[in-house]
Amino acid sequence: MRILLFCENKYAIDILNPLQEEAQKDSSNEVLWYVHALKIPNFPLKDSVRYTNSIQEAYDFKPEAIFCPGNIVPYYLSGVKVQIFHGYAAEKKDHWIIRRYFDTYFTQGPYFTSHFEALSHKYKDFEVRETGWTKQDWIARHLHDFDEDKQRLLTEHNKKRIAIYAPTFSPKLTSLPHIKGALEHLLEAEKDLLLVMKFHPLTAKQWTDEYQEWASKRNDAIYIDAGENVTKYQLMSDVMISDTSSAVYEFLLLDRPVITLNTIAKDIYWENITDASQLTTAFNKAINDPESIAKRRWIVENYDPYNDGRCCARMLEQAKDYIARHGVPEKRKLNLWRKYASIKTFGRIKK
């Protein structure tokens, strides 16, 4: 099967790479990455995978299946166009918008499947299959890779457990202006706790400078460079503190406690506080309260229960199944506005 991994944004790299690793196990698969040159000027996998910055080359490749974590894929490319999503943030309205670019949606778990099946019945031009999410395969393979790094950090700082503070960068939603004092009080109350701060790459310099300086003066807090992989530190951490970030769901799927400050999520399956002074109380509740534990386990069961390391294998199987039943689509039928959006975003091709 000729597979195009459609990588428009930097976040898509870690989502698509597990598919690359799974596809290359079968020598009959041929994989090409399309990488948006302006949005990803330095592609970190350039020396290990076949890729192109040319949408014309992607077209000439004549893909049979296209996997896309973004919201748009050019209608004029051949292949079954598969939406595989870029996270679990169901509270974001655009998660549920059907833009008509995709032939099929590969959902993470029962909660998403039920919603997209209802939308499929409404629009009648795409299918839904439940596969689990690609990054779960990476986690299944690397769950304990950083155990030694964790122990080293704990030993260096004479602590027993790690809390990761991973706020969003959005000025309207971030907890950064409000929570530093509460973090100080938490560290005073929890003497065995090491706070690891991992900020979004787009976080305003004002806050990265302030928190980095604050951490540099303490033995119980460290600031991690924005270029490092947040998933590594999630796997090393025992608790997460955040606000409105999709990283919350990825951490909950590890069946570990989360506390947020003023999240905009409508359905909350973790401890959310509306005043930063409540942080220490919420921290203890998140760890010990049976109801809190039951809520996060509901997320595991309904958002993505697939921790078997076979999510990407299921995706490839389902893509082949679609082709077996429908053939390889030459292009996607769209209205003029959606066609214009494709051309404006990715350019024209020569047939």
Q: What is the CATH number of the domain that holds 49?
A: 3.40.50
What CA–CA distances, in Å, run from 324 to 64, 136, 319?
11, 27, 9
Model confidence band, residue 96 (pLDDT cutoffs 50, 70, 90): confident
Query: Rounded to an integer, what distance in angstroms lies between the CA atom of residue 40 and that of residue 204?
Result: 20
Q: Do the domain assignments include residue 139?
A: no
Q: Is the pLDDT of residue 236 over 80?
A: yes
Say whether both 152 and 294 belong to one domain.
yes
Question: Looking at the structure, do residues 100 and 179 belong to the same domain, yes or no?
Answer: no
pLDDT at residue number 91 = 63
The answer to the question of residue 224 being in a domain is yes
Q: Which of 49-53, 221-225, 241-245 has the highest mean pLDDT?
A: 49-53
Domain boundary among 268, 283, 303: 303
Burial class (CB in 10 A: 0-12, 13-18, 19+), 299: buried
250 located within any domain = yes
Q: Are both 126 and 224 inside the same structural domain?
A: no
Residues 149 and 288 in one domain: yes
Judgement on whether residues 21 and 153 belong to the same structural domain of the protein:
no
Confidence class of residue 93 from pLDDT cuts 50, 70 and 90? low
Domain finish residue from 286, 303, 320? 303
CA distance 154 to 69: 36
| 101, two tokens | 């670019």
Domain of residue 234, residue span: 145-303
C-alpha span between 1 and 3 (Å, rounded): 6
Query: Do the beta carbons of residue 4 and residue 67 sit within 8 Å?
Result: yes
Backbone φ and ψ for 245, nearest 5 degrees, come out as -140, 140
Same domain membership, residue 319 and residue 255: no
**Lowest-confidence range among 164-168, 224-228, 269-273?**
224-228
Residues 288-338: tens digit of each pLDDT:
999 999 999 999 999 999 999 999 999 999 999 999 999 999 999 888 999
H/E stretch holding 271? strand 271-273
pLDDT of residue 92: 64
Residue 264 and residue 129 share a domain: no
- Under the banding of pLDDT at 50, 70 and 90, the label for residue 225 is confident
CATH assignment of the domain containing 190 = 3.40.50.12580
- In this structure, the answer to whether residues 79 and 165 fall within a common structural domain is no
Same-domain pairing of 118 and 197: no
Q: Kindly state whether residues 299 and 312 are assigned to the same domain.
A: no
In a domain, 249, yes or no: yes
Do residues 221 and 184 lie in contact, with contact meaning Cβ atoms separated by under 8 Å? no
Q: How far apart are CA 279 and CA 226, in angstroms?
A: 25
Q: Is residue 351 part of a domain?
A: no
- C-beta of residue 98 within 8 angstroms of C-beta of residue 123: yes
Are residues 40 and 68 located together in one domain of the fold?
yes
Planar angle of CA 236, 242, 243, nearest 5 degrees: 160
- Same domain, yes or no, for 66 and 210? no
Of the candidates 5, 256, 253, 236, which has an alpha carbon nearest to the alpha carbon of residue 142?
A: 236
The closest of 107, 138, 110 to 318, measured between CA atoms, is 107
What mean pLDDT do residues 261-270 have?
A: 89
User: What span, in angstroms and rounded, lies between the C-alpha atoms of 106 and 31?
Assistant: 19
Find the helix packing angle between 290-303 and 110-123, rounded to 10°. 40
pTM of the model: 0.85
Residue 312 lies in a domain: yes
